[in-house]
Amino acid sequence: MSRIFTTSVASVYPHYVTKAERKGRTEGEVREVIEWLTGFDDAALTRHLDDGTTFEEFFAAADLNDHVDQITGSVCGVKVQEVEDPLMRQIRYLDKLVDELAKGRPMEKVLRS
């Protein structure tokens, strides 16, 4: 079991926001990406962040978007579509979406619309 599984989403979330903001994106866009991936609206995401929900609990409660199979590419040299552990793959999906957002990719492309 990877340490990230028991890490709270709230402890990583500020890093996602900082990464996006450094590249001119907003926290609202990070939240939009998370909502697209997990189905959590703003209130639900805030609740998870306030409650210290772990990544394992976070993704167990999520209703993943039907189009997650369209998320491909590498994060830290690892191809997300080749990650075998389902939970780790879901975490990598989130990492990949935030990376694409931070790299300036248009939101409609990030959200696979």
Please report, for the domain that includes residue 52, its CATH number.
1.10.8.290
Number of domains in the chain: 1
Assess if residue 113 is contained within a domain: no
- pLDDT (average), residues 9-19: 97
Paired tokens of 98: 């935030």
**Residue 112, exposed/middle/buried by CB under 10 A (0-12, 13-18, 19+)?**
middle
- pLDDT (average), residues 16-36: 97
The whole-number pLDDT of residue 77 equals 87
20: pLDDT strictly greater than 90: yes
Residues 106, 99, 58: CA angle, nearest 5 degrees: 110
The residue range of the domain holding 35 is 3-104
Assess if residue 34 is contained within a domain: yes
Paired tokens of 58: 């976070």
The whole-number pLDDT of residue 1 equals 65
**pTM greater than 0.85:** yes
H or E stretch at 36 = helix 27-38
21: pLDDT strictly greater than 90: yes
- Calculate the average pLDDT of the chain: 95
Assess if residue 17 is contained within a domain: yes
